[in-house]
């Protein structure tokens, strides 16, 4: 368990903590997060602010674990696997919960998760045929866009909400579009391997 892998595992732990905070029925144990009216316009729930802070910290670790692993030659198969799992655990579960709470479009969540399932299947197929698949640049851009969009959603699109500019929605929609495009690129890369030899 090298330093890069420890950072990755910390993201897994933070993702689990985030999920627990979002799903735990605090009202049934007589606990309630306070709400605040910001600038007399936007009502924010402290629960989502706390989750937003944790989400940003977890998202930042996504950059550092890969950077450290490459710089100090700490790249391992375990690290690659857990990095992918932690990213999906962090983003996709939060997206699903936000969709259930009507905070993001269900269509966007379906597109992003369906694409992830297809791409992961393609990567597994290519791996079984002896060809490792690294994340393409467009996929990394998609992930970054998605993380910023989710973070803004958790922060109620502030400060852009004050000027009625739905930046959070735009970024999530853009992430969905990038998901489709990058998914098509992965398919093109894998096309030769999809034929039986």
The per-residue DSSP string of 109-133 comes to HHHHHHHHHHHHHHHHHHHHTT---
Phi, psi of 149 (to 5 degrees): -60, -45
CB 92 within 8 A of CB 110: no
> What SS3 state is found at 155?
coil
As beta bridge partners, residue 38 has 42
Range of the domain at 110: 3-194
pLDDT at 196 exceeding the cut of 70: no
The string of pLDDT tens digits covering residues 60-101 is 998 888 888 888 888 887 888 888 889 899 999 999 999 999
Q: pLDDT band for position 133 (50/70/90)?
A: low
**Residue 169: CATH number of its domain:** 1.20.120.1760
Structural domain count of the chain: 1
The string of pLDDT tens digits covering residues 15-50 is 999 999 999 999 899 999 999 999 889 999 999 999
- CB-based contacts of 190-194 (< 8 A; 24+ apart in sequence): 190/122, 190/125, 190/126, 190/133, 193/125, 193/126, 193/129, 193/131, 194/125
Averaged pLDDT, 161-172: 96
pTM for the predicted model, two decimal places: 0.91
Q: pLDDT band for position 135 (50/70/90)?
A: low
The confidence score (pLDDT) of residue 74 equals 83
């Amino acid at each position: 368990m090298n330093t890069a892998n420890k950072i990755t595992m910390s993201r897994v732990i933070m993702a689990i903590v985030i999920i627990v905070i979002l799903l735990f029925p605090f009202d049934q144990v007589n606990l309630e997060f306070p709400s605040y009216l910001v600038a007399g316009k936007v009502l924010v729930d402290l629960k989502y602010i706390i989750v937003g802070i944790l989400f940003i910290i977890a998202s930042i670790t996504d950059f550092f674990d890969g950077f450290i692993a490459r710089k100090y030659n700490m790249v391992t198969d375990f690290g690659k696997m857990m990095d992918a799992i932690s990213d999906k655990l962090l983003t996709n579960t939060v997206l699903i919960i936000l969709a259930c709470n009507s905070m993001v479009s269900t269509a966007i969540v379906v597109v992003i998760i369906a694409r992830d399932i297809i791409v992961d299947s393609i990567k597994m197929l290519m791996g079984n045929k002896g060809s490792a698949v690294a994340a393409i640049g467009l996929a990394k851009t998609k992930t970054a866009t998605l993380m910023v969009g989710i973070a803004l959603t958790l922060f109620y699109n502030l400060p852009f909400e004050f000027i009625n500019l739905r930046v959070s929605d735009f970024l999530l929609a853009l992430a969905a579009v990038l998901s489709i495009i990058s998914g098509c690129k992965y398919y093109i890369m894998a096309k030769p391997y999809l034929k039986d030899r």
